[in-house]
Amino acid sequence: MKFGVVVFPGSNCDTDVKYAIETVLKQPVDYLWHQEGDVAGYDCLVLPGGFSFGDYLRIGAIARFSPIMKSVEQFAGNGGLVIGICNGFQILLEAGLLPGAMKMNDSLQFRCQDAYLKIENNETAFTNKIMPGHILRVPVAHGEGNYYADESMVAELERNGQIVFRYSSSEGVVVPEANPNGSTANIAGVINKEGNVLGMMPHPERCAETLLGGEDGKLIFESIINWHQGGGKRG
């Protein structure tokens, strides 16, 4: 299964993502510079974390118009798997590939800590290897991860099973104290209606091997590979 990691000026988790896919999961992976226009031949595109274009104007607002994004949109439109992590999530929101928007953390502080994630939908291309009831421990590191969706949008997301992760206690209880940034309904990750584009604030690539303090993040990548091997279609 071939992965492509989209690199924008200011991306800084691209190397970590490549390492997790290549060294931990033993899958081929290439960097794709944001000015490239072609994403043919890839099975999954990753938009990594960082501070693309210095977070100028609005996070993700400028990256969203990078030349490669037209190809990413087309790839996603054809059913290709796309995962945006942290800044990558913010870019997908700005691009309209995922619903909602991101605001500054309600604490106004940059939050760099482990977060516990309750899995609300483990039947997606990105979560199918996660056992029901398993609470993930995955680090977050962001200043603007305060996911916003209005009431009717949240209701629709719930109805469609589009809320994939919620910030929870280590026991999996969704409480305000477990919410690191003020996100609406403790939302940590959402998927599009079609189920092939996922955005998440926590960083699975930072916990894909025990040496780094945990392996929960590996489950996300293993799910993607499992889904692909099970006949998922190429974008």
Partner 1 sequence: MYQAKIKVTLKKGVLDPQGSAVQRSLHALDYGEVTSVRIGKYMEVNLEAPNKEAAEEQVKEMCQRLLANPVIEDYTYNLVEVKS
Which residues are the active-site residues?
A: 86, 203, 205
Q: Does 156 participate in binding partner 1 (rule CB under 8 A)? A: no
Concatenated DSSP letters for 71-131?
Answer: HHHHHHHTT-EEEEETHHHHHHHHTTSSSSEEE--TT-S-EEEEEEEEES--SSTTTTTSP
Does residue 54 bind partner 1 (CB under 8 A)? no
**55 binds partner 1 per the rule CB under 8 A:** no
> CA 169, CA 129: separation in Å to the nearest integer?
21
Q: Provide the minimum distance between the beta carbon of 90 and partner 1 in the complex, in angstroms, as a whole number.
A: 11
Smaller CB distance to partner 1: residue 124 or 186?
A: 186
Q: Does 185 bind partner 1 (CB under 8 A)?
A: no
Contact pick of 38, 108, 194, 230 for partner 1 (by CB under 8 A): 108
Helix (H, G, I), strand (E, B) or coil at 15: helix
- For residue 44, what are its two tokens? 């999954």
**Residue 24: DSSP 8-state:** I
Choice from 23, 54, 70, 106 touching partner 1 (CB under 8 A): 106
55 backbone dihedrals φ, ψ, rounded to 5°: 60, 20
Q: Is 146 in the site for partner 1 (CB under 8 A)?
A: yes
Q: Please report, as residue ranges, which positions from 1 to 30 form the binding site for partner 1 (by CB under 8 A).
A: none
Residues that bind partner 1 (CB under 8 A): 57-58, 61-62, 65, 93-94, 100-101, 103-108, 146, 148, 150, 182
